[in-house]
Amino acid sequence: MVQVLGQPRRHRRDRSGRTGAAGPVTRGTAMPTTTALHARPTVTALTDQENEVLYAIGCGLADAEIADLLAVPEHAVAWHLRSILAKLGLRDRAAAIVHAFDCGLVTPGHGPRRHGPGPMSVPWLRISVLGPLRACRAGRFVDLGPVRQQAVLAALALSPDRSVSRRELLDGVWGTNWPDGNVVPVYVYRLRKVLRRDDRPDPVIGHDRYGYRLDRGLVDVDVAHMEELAAAAGGAERAGDLAEAMRLCGLALDLFRGEPLAGLPGPSAESARLRLVERRAALTRRRAGWQLRLGRYADAVAGLSALALEQPLNEPVCALLMCALTRNGLRADALAVFDRARRKLADELGVRPGELLLRARRAVLRGEGVDPVLVMEDAA
């Protein structure tokens, strides 16, 4: 849903002294000032997260504070700022601050540090599952209580478009060993208490005839941002901009902070953990494929080597690493990757390497290298 920030259309005098019509500011769309219209290139639409970063910059927050507020790495904030400056034709951070005020995105006295009602472009609550579960309420991390209570919140966060029934929560958090009593309503009550917004009577966790669900207007989950970035990377690839695809994929990977939902019990958390680990591996392969096509062989080797250590039985990762090493002139190292994978597969699974790895080895031995496009297609 599009959210409009600011006041009804009016005339405003900009910093250069010109007067022009200033319309409402819409998240996810361009926010031109009259200065931008007269003196700068046509404004390209900002993404939702770029709008959030611009808003926080306009409120005077430093990169570290913005990173905590948005639950993203600090260097990702710097990436977003560079993109904002390029898209809006701005010179530096100071110009971005002026622009945030000129376009009405920021109003004096209203910002992330304000706890009362007022315009806020960032959600009240941010939940991160791409690592140990954590929640950031109005810029401050929250104690989420015992691990099974955290697992209840994680199950709700991973089901953003539907209600989750009490029975489903019991199955997902406790498996077949259901506890006695009304433990789910108790945990939900406690979570509502620690996550509530002081100026609103509505709970962050709602309830209907089908079960419990998070209020999407107040809650933002990092998985959604990761998928948005991954989709944008795919769009950049289809448009032929591999450098931008690689950058966006890197930002998606930066949202991972370790093992997803580390330490949380229950079938629901375990299933989500496996799915998200595989999602990270797939994104790493995609980025490596683009890096190889752009000739950035050393970068591809670095990312794939780390992933191969974590997932030594992942044959597509090993095949793509062999490709990267061969392109980087490290043919012996590429063959060593095959030998290591072959031993692991035999020792732990009792199987021989699959056709993908065998084909990669034959290509290395013939001095042909491995086609990253074929590896990516076979891994899909």
* 268-303 pLDDT per residue, tens: 999 999 999 999 999 999 999 999 999 999 999 999
The single-letter code of the amino acid at 121 is S
The mean pLDDT of 309-317, rounded to a whole number, is 92
Give the pLDDT confidence of 55-97 residue by residue, as tens digits: 888 887 888 878 877 777 888 888 888 888 888 888 888 888 8
When comparing pLDDT for 99 and 19, which is higher?
99
Task: Answer whether 308's CB lies under 8 Å from 322's CB.
Answer: no
So what's the pLDDT on residue 375?
Answer: 58
**Residue ranges of the alpha helices (H) in the chain?**
34-39, 48-58, 63-70, 74-88, 93-102, 147-157, 166-174, 183-195, 222-238, 242-254, 267-293, 297-310, 315-327, 331-344, 355-365, 372-379
Give the pLDDT confidence of 112-157 residue by residue, as tens digits: 443 333 334 456 688 999 999 999 886 778 899 999 999 999 999 9
Strand duo 10-13 + 140-141: pairing: unpaired
pLDDT of 35 higher than 70 = no
Please tell me the least confidently modeled range out of 197-211, 326-340, 356-370.
197-211
So what's the pLDDT on residue 199?
Answer: 60
pLDDT of 257 higher than 70 = yes
pLDDT of 45 higher than 80 = no
Give the model's confidence band at 107: pLDDT under 50 very low, under 70 low, under 90 confident, else very high.
low
- Chain centroid to Cα 69, Å, comes to 14
Q: State the angle between helix axes of 242-254 and 267-293 in degrees (0 to 180), rounded to the nearest 10.
A: 150
Give the pLDDT confidence of 109-118 residue by residue, as tens digits: 554 443 333 3
Give Cβ neighbours of residue 167 (< 8 Å, ≥ 6 apart).
Answer: none
So what's the pLDDT on residue 369?
Answer: 60
So what's the pLDDT on residue 378?
Answer: 52
Highest mean pLDDT among 59-68, 333-342, 371-380: 333-342
Give the model's confidence band at 17: pLDDT under 50 very low, under 70 low, under 90 confident, else very high.
very low
Q: Report the alpha-carbon distance of residue 145 to residue 232 in Å, rounded.
A: 36
If we measure between CA atoms, which residue out of 291, 222, 211, 209 comes closest to residue 250? Answer: 291
Percent of the chain with pLDDT over 70: 77
Q: Is pTM, for the whole model, over 0.85? A: no
Task: Answer whether 360's CB lies under 8 Å from 341's CB.
Answer: no
Task: Answer whether 94's CB lies under 8 Å from 25's CB.
Answer: no
Give the pLDDT confidence of 182-229 residue by residue, as tens digits: 899 999 999 999 888 766 666 889 899 999 999 877 788 999 889 989
Q: Report the alpha-carbon distance of residue 280 to residue 252 in Å, rounded.
A: 9
Mean pLDDT score of the chain, rounded to an integer? 80
Residue ranges and CATH numbers for the domains of the chain are 4-102 (1.10.10.10), 123-294 (1.10.10.10), 296-380 (1.25.40.10)
So what's the pLDDT on residue 12?
Answer: 40
